[in-house]
Copies of this chain bind each other. A is one copy, B any other.
Amino acid sequence: MTKKTIYIAGLGLIGGSLALGIKRDHPHYKIMGYNRSDQSRAIALERQIVDEATADFREFAPLADVIILAVPIKKTIEFIKILAELELKENVIITDAGSTKYEIVRAAEHYLKDKAVQFVGSHPMAGSHKSGAIAADVNLFENAYYIFSPSCLTKANTISELQDLLSGLHARYVEIDAAEHDCVTSQISHFPHIMASSLMEQAGDFSESHEMIKHFAAGGFRDMTRIAESEPGMWTSILLTNQEAILDRIENFKQRLDDISDWIKAKDEKTIWEFFNRGRQIRKNMEIHKRAGVDSFYDIYVDVPDEEDVILEILELLRGTSLVNVHINEENREDIHGILQISFKTAKDLAHAKQMIESYTDYQVFIN
C-alpha cells in the first residue's frame, strides 16, 4: 500500500474536516497543512488533524500527491496561479472546495494547462455556523453531496482516485459540469441568499417609519431571513464569481413579481389561488422534506401518544447514542397524537435506535 502525501491548504472547518475524513480510511497517509494563522495551525497540530503545518503555501506543494485548496474562492484562484510556477510531482491531483465552480475550473485550465497535473473542481456541500479548525468534524460530510466538476485537466482516473481518498467522508459523490453546478446553486442557494438579505434590509428600512415591525416579525419571517446572518465575505465572492446565472434568476424573479402585481391589481382571485396552490404542490413533490447537503442528520420518527414523559421514556432506551435533536412535531396531523422526531449524528445510531424502540415499545417507527 502506497503511503501518499496529501496537502490541504486552509485548515478551517472544511479543510480540517476533509483531513479528518481522509485519515479515517487512510490512517497511514501523511497529511500536511497550510494556514496563515498561527492559532489555526497550532489547533490543527494539537488535534492531530494534520501531521505537519506551514504558514508558507509554497513549502509543501512540491511534496504532495494530492493538493486540496480549501480556502476562499479568490485565494483558490491565487493559489492555482502560484502552483503554476512551482515544481510539482508529476501527475499530482489538484482540487478545491469552493462554492462556485466555473471560474475556478476555468482558472485551473488556463494557468495549469502546460503542466503535468490533474485538476478537478470540488464542492463538498456541507457547512455549519461553526468555523475554524476547532470545529473540524469527521462526520461533517456524512451523507452530504460532494460535487466533482471536471476540467480539461481531469484524466480518466482522477475522480475515482479522489473518491477513494475521500471515502471516509461517507459523502454522496456526484459529477456535474461546472457551469451547470453554478446554474443549479444560483437557484437554490445564491439567489435565495440575496432574497433573504434584501428582505431583511427592506424590513429594516420600513421599520424606521413602522416601528411595530420590530415586534411582530415572527415564524415565517424569521425562517426566511435566517441565512441573512451568514458571513458576508463568502457570499460576496459567490456573487462575483457566478454573475450570469444569478443575474438571470433576479430578472426571472422580477418578472414573477410583475405577474403577481398584475393579478392583485385585477383582483384575479382564481389566478392568485392557483399561484399559491402551485407553489404548495411543487414543494410537496420535491425532495425538500428530506435533509440533504447542509446539516445532514439521520432522523427517526416515532408515533407517540401526547403524554408527559414520553420523550424521557424513549431517551432512556437510547442511552449512549449521539442524538442531536429531539422534537415533538404536531404539525399537519389531524389527531392529537404527536410525532417524535429524533436526529442522530450517524447511521449506526439511527439503526440502533430503531431496533431499541421497536423491541421495547409498541410505538410505530418511521425512517425517512
Partner of A265, one of B193, B214, B243, B291: B243
A212-232 interface code vs B (CB 8 A; 1 in, 0 out): 111111111111111111101
Q: Are B221 and A224 in contact (CB under 8 A)?
A: no
Q: Please determine whether B326 and A216 come into contact, CB atoms closer than 8 angstroms.
A: no
When distances are taken between beta carbons in the complex, the residues of chain B under 8 Å from A256 are: 198, 201-202
Q: Mark A151-171, 1 if CB is under 8 A from B, else 0.
A: 000000000000000000000
Bitwise, A269-305 to B at CB < 8 A (1) or not (0) is: 1001111111110111011100111110000000000
- Tell me the smallest distance from the CB of A251 to a CB of chain B, in Å: 8
Q: Verify A202–B249 contact, CB threshold 8 A.
A: yes
Q: Residue A88 at the B interface, CB < 8 A?
A: no
Evaluate contact between B286 and A214: CB separation under 8 angstroms.
yes
Interface pair A216/B134, CB less than 8 Å apart: no
Given A280-B230, A311-B326: A202 in contact with B294 (beta carbons within 8 A): no
Say yes or no: A129 contacts B331, CB within 8 Å: yes
Given contact pairs A196-B224, A336-B134, A217 touches B247 in the complex (Cβ within 8 A)? no
Pairwise interchain contact A293-B201, C-beta atoms closer than 8 A: no
Interface centre among A174, A213, A265 (most CB of B within 10 A): A213
Query: 11 additional contacts, CB 8 Å, given A200-B280, A243-B267?
Result: A128-B331, A129-B332, A184-B216, A189-B216, A198-B260, A217-B287, A233-B273, A236-B272, A243-B264, A311-B323, A311-B326
